[in-house]
Amino acid sequence: MQTFKLENKNGIEMTVTNLGCAIISLNVPTKEMGKKDVVLGFDKADDYKGEHPFFGVVAGRFANRINKGKFELGGKTYQLETNDGANHLHGGSNGFDKKVWNVLESSSSKIVFEYDSPDGEENYPGNLKAKVTYTLTDDNVLRMDYYNTTETETICNLTNHSYFNLEGHDGKPIIGHELQVLAKQTTAVDVELIPTGELKELSDTPLCLYELKPIGKNIDEVGKLSGTGGYDHNYVLEKKEGLAAVLYSPVTNIRLTVSTNSPGLQIYTANNLDGSLVGKGGVKYPQHGGVCLETQIFPDSPNHVNFPSAVVSKDKPQNFYTEFKFEW
């Protein structure tokens, strides 16, 4: 297990580890408040070995949920671990976040991770070669590239699960942050957060984030309606590629824009944090202490023919990217 540091000419500094490709810290300058570490997490790479809410890691082989842990592929039914009640979440209890990835390339601006997931790992079919590249540019963009290949048909859905707080990981809950998501639909879900297959229109609902607005404006209403305690929803992105979301802190004036070619964006407002988990510098992370901006294929997509496909085959590799651009 190793740690690596990326930095650019404008003062952004990022520390990552090859355990789960976890982003340990991401320090962003401000005009008047010094640098702010804008991701929740732990002080050392070793701390990521234990149980935690997927701080900064790459979740997989299939991020988000699969109904009852079951899916069919090539006429065969596969049963995955049910580690989230009756359902499968983020690749299982020994998913990609718990793996030590190989480092193919590293420099002060770029690091390339690779993991070979064997056929049958966590009961997924097919050998999968996953490659994740983090690039930090002098334009203040953190770019993440996901390239997945296989010789035998399988499914894959990778995302980075960083918890952002633009006032610093030790800042106040993100209810004062402003958020915009360029989506007019979400994937409707049942009480277990499993998609029903319906695409739900957002117009004039508390879930609508099409215009920039404070996260706290409707978070209580959203939490009561969905039973989640806040936002935990997959948004159907309006554009096939390009700008997907904007996150802004009026306290630090840090603005984060998210661009991607992924079809979905899961917004999760750290509803399950409660102050008992101790992170960097001894900080106890409160409910809504951060917000996850998880670019992805839709949850439970293998069980819905109308959802974007998560199938990877020899002739159909996956190639997704996400760009996080910081301005201050």
Enumerate domains of the chain plus CATH numbers.
Answer: 3-327 (2.70.98.10)
Check if the beta carbon of residue 58 is closer than 8 Å to that of residue 46. no
Length of the chain equals: 328
Residue 294 among the catalytic residues: yes
**Lateral strand order in the sheet of 264-268:** 163-164, 291-296, 264-268, 232-237, 183-189, 195-201
Catalytic residue among 122, 178, 294, 323: 294
Residue 309, token pair as written in the block = 């496909």
pTM: 0.97
Amino acid at 92: G
Angle at 324 between CA 319 and CA 328, to 5 degrees: 165
Taking phi over 0 as left and psi of -120 to 50 as alpha, with beta for the rest, 126 belongs to left
**Where does 97-174 show beta strands of DSSP type E?**
102-106, 110-117, 128-136, 141-150, 154-155, 159-160, 163-164
- Give the C-alpha separation, 286 to 271, whole Å: 9
Check if the beta carbon of residue 7 is closer than 8 Å to that of residue 21. no
- Give the C-alpha separation, 66 to 156, whole Å: 12
Residue 238 among the catalytic residues: no
Q: What is the pLDDT of residue 300?
A: 98
Element (H, E) at 121: none
Question: For each of the chain's 328 residues, which pLDDT tens digit applies?
Answer: 999 999 999 999 999 999 999 999 999 999 999 999 999 999 999 999 999 999 999 999 999 999 999 999 999 999 999 999 999 999 999 999 999 999 999 999 999 999 999 999 999 999 999 999 999 999 999 999 999 999 999 999 999 999 999 999 999 999 999 999 999 999 999 999 999 999 999 999 999 999 999 999 999 999 998 999 999 999 999 999 999 999 999 999 999 999 999 999 999 999 999 999 999 999 999 999 999 999 999 999 999 999 999 999 999 999 999 999 999 9
- Give the C-alpha separation, 188 to 256, whole Å: 27
Q: What is the pLDDT of residue 225?
A: 86
61 upstream amide cis, omega within 30 of 0: yes
Q: What is the pLDDT of residue 306?
A: 97
CA distances from 228 to 7, 76, 232, 233, 288 (A): 37, 33, 7, 9, 12
| Dihedral of the alpha carbons of 210, 57, 116, 78, in degrees to the nearest 10 | -60
* 205: CB partners within 8 A, 6+ apart: none
Catalytic residue among 90, 121, 122, 161: 161
Element (H, E) at 123: none
Q: What is the pLDDT of residue 10?
A: 98
